[in-house]
Amino acid sequence: MDEAHPTTPVSTYAVAKLAADLWAQTMAFEHKLPVVILRPFNTYGFRDTLPRFIPEVIRQCLKEPAIKVGNLDSSRDYTFVADTARAMILAMECDGVEREIINFGTGKSPKMSEILEIILERINYEKEVIQDTSRLRPHDVNNLTADATKAQKLLGWKPEVELEEGIRMTIDWYMNNGQAWQYEKRGWYWKF
């Protein structure tokens, strides 16, 4: 997906993301603000605040009797948090990118089943994996893969952390920092 990919959201989550883009574009136009719209694809890593797939599977591997998942056939372009942060800094420091829309991603989209295997291998746990139909998102896009050509061209950005290494660092961080994501500390668990 490049920046010109059709924007036809079919979920409230996708509508909210597009609304934020449109709001930013309008503020840039009306108030002459130096806005750059950044579209990072599935950032993961340290200090996660919501029960997304990677942190939730790590938590379940270490704390639950079984691992409950939704659709393991969907695929996502996961970008390590350090790469996403570096992209944002480059965009803020770069002249001439005002009003641009820029995607950030690896260009690779492993299936959720592959990511689950990487996490299980790294943690070295054997647990039952249960497909929980309450975790299925019926209007979700099955495959999201970023085309970050524009980010490389305008900012010289490309991802540096491979998925396996990023997951290893994320698991190590979790295990060395009290085994609690921010959402766990606040009592937010997957309830839908």
Using CB atoms within 10 Å of the CB of residue 63, give its burial: 0 to 12 exposed, 13 to 18 middle, 19+ buried. exposed
Domains observed in the chain: 12-185 (3.40.50.720)
State yes or no: is 189 an active-site residue: no
Which residue in 13, 44, 125, 183 is the catalytic one? Answer: 13
pLDDT in tens, 148-177: 999 999 999 999 999 999 999 999 999 999
Per-residue 3-state assignment (H helix, E strand, C coil) for 36-74: CEEEECCEECCCCCCCCHHHHHHHHHHHCCEEEECCCCC
pLDDT in tens, 8-41: 888 888 899 999 999 999 999 999 999 999 999 9
